[in-house]
Amino acid sequence: MDYKPLAKLLLASSFSIFSLAAMADDLTVVDYGGAFQDAQRKVFYEPFKAESKVNLKVESWDGGLGVIRSRAASADPGWDLVDVETADIVLGCEEGLFEELDYSKIAPKDTFIPGATKDCGVAVIVYNEGIAYDKDKLKDPPTGWADFFDLKKFPGKRALRMTPIVSLPGALIADGVKPEDVYKVLATEEGVDRAFKKLDTIKKDLIFWKAGAQPPQLLASGEVVMTTSYNGRVDAANRNDKRNFGFVWNGSMQTFDYWAIMKGSPRKDAAYKFLQFYNRPEVQAKFPDEIAYGVPRKEASGLIDPKRLADIPSSPDHVSVSVPPNDQFWPDHIDKLTERLQAWAAQ
């Protein structure tokens, strides 16, 4: 009897079993790309791959719960860990789109800064989204939202992210609403109408962006005189591309992004391995050196160079002039206000 065909079959089966085992431990992580992803790759992704031997795959997206809803309908959503915004982590958890986290596999909840832990999400970063401009082109710089809406003092195009999370509060602040009252006003129909009426005043000079890499590009090309941007993207452009961009901390929106495990992911064990690695204080403390975002572990903040702390959102000087996140407001209003903003922009 010729055993060679049988041997070949057994060998092929063995390789198939090992391949399936390897695939089961593959992990797809999704973030917002650009300079942010470059920093993540250097501090977290590559060191994690080297230590864990998990085959980590990295993808990019621009956010939006609609994308998550579509993927969650599949038996295997394809994505395992996704970086999502505050409103999406709360609403997605309520809708059953994300797994509830077991913090015994990550780190004790009381070791995180306030707001960094949710039932279905653990913070990725602390960041601010506010007004950015080119210091070389604006010698008299903007100081807040009123300047963003002042076409006489600052003629030219300006850009906003295609989301109500920044554009509507910013419009109300520019219209005279105190930052601490923004969400109370925005919770009323009159307040929403007021915000859109203010947006009407700059509509002819307004463009929208979606990807975090766009604002520095818009400023560098001179296409806009100012734009909203993530503070870290401004810092990265200055450090890496030798730009001279400014960021207005006054009235900027401070919030978190969160890691969420997609519901139904067959790679939860690998996801928890990554989250445990990501939340090591000594690892997190390296992140602000690459891009100016705050980190969620208390101990990690204490390991950051004090000189660098002055550049990141968790600096007391920046916290005092920032608009804090409102976890209660956005989950209830994000879908409706997003639809209205998109319809308004398309008119």
- Report residue 156 as tokens: 């030219």
What is the SS3 assignment for 229?
Answer: strand
- Residue closest to 246 by CA, chosen among 257, 235, 259: 235
Looking at residue 75, what is its pLDDT? 77
Q: What is the distance between the alpha carbons of residues 102 and 133, in angstroms, rounded to a whole number?
A: 42
User: Strand 206-209 to strand 27-31: parallel, antiparallel, or no bridges (unpaired)?
Assistant: unpaired
- Residue pLDDT, tens place only, 278-331: 999 999 999 999 999 999 999 998 899 888 988 899 887 888 899 988 888 998
The CATH H-level superfamily of 127-254+324-346 is: Periplasmic binding protein-like II (3.40.190.10)
Q: Which amino acid is at 38?
A: D
**Residue 297 φ then ψ, to 5°:** -80, 135
- In this structure, what are the phi and psi dihedrals at residue 331, rounded to the nearest 5 degrees? -55, -30
Tell me where in the chain the CATH 3.40.190.10 domain(s) lie: 27-126+256-320, 127-254+324-346
- Which amino acid is residue 131, in one-letter code? I
| Phi, psi at 186, each rounded to 5° | -70, -15
Q: What angle do CA 78, 107, 31 make, to 5 degrees?
A: 35
User: pLDDT by residue (tens digit) across 191-242?
Assistant: 999 999 999 999 999 999 999 999 999 999 999 999 999 999 999 999 999 9
Return the half-sphere exposure (C-beta side, CA atoms, 13 A cut-off) of residue 218. Answer: 27
pLDDT over threshold 60, residue 171 = yes
Q: What is the mean pLDDT of residues 142-154?
A: 98
Mean predicted confidence (pLDDT) in 166-195: 97
Q: Looking at per-residue confidence, does 166 or 73 come out higher?
A: 166
What whole-number distance in Å separates Cα of residue 112 and Cα of residue 44? 18
Q: Which fold has domain 27-126+256-320?
A: D-Maltodextrin-Binding Protein; domain 2 (3.40.190)
Of the ranges 43-47, 144-148, 291-295, which one carries the lowest mean pLDDT score?
291-295
The single residue listed with the structure tokens 């005043």 is 201
CB-facing half-sphere around the CA of 104: CA atoms within 13 A:
0
H/E/C letters for each residue in 104-163?
HHCCCHHHECCCCECCCCEEEEEEEEEEEEECCCCCCCCCCHHHHCCCCCCCCCEEEECC
Question: At residue 207, what are phi and psi to the nearest 5 degrees?
Answer: -125, 160
Rounded-to-integer distance, Cα 210 and Cα 40, Å: 20
Q: Are 145 and 170 in contact (CB under 8 A)?
A: yes
The closest alpha carbon to 165, from 195, 121, 194, belongs to 195
What number of other Cβ atoms are within 10 A of residue 119's Cβ? 13
Q: How confident is the model at residue 25 (pLDDT cuts 50, 70, 90)?
A: low
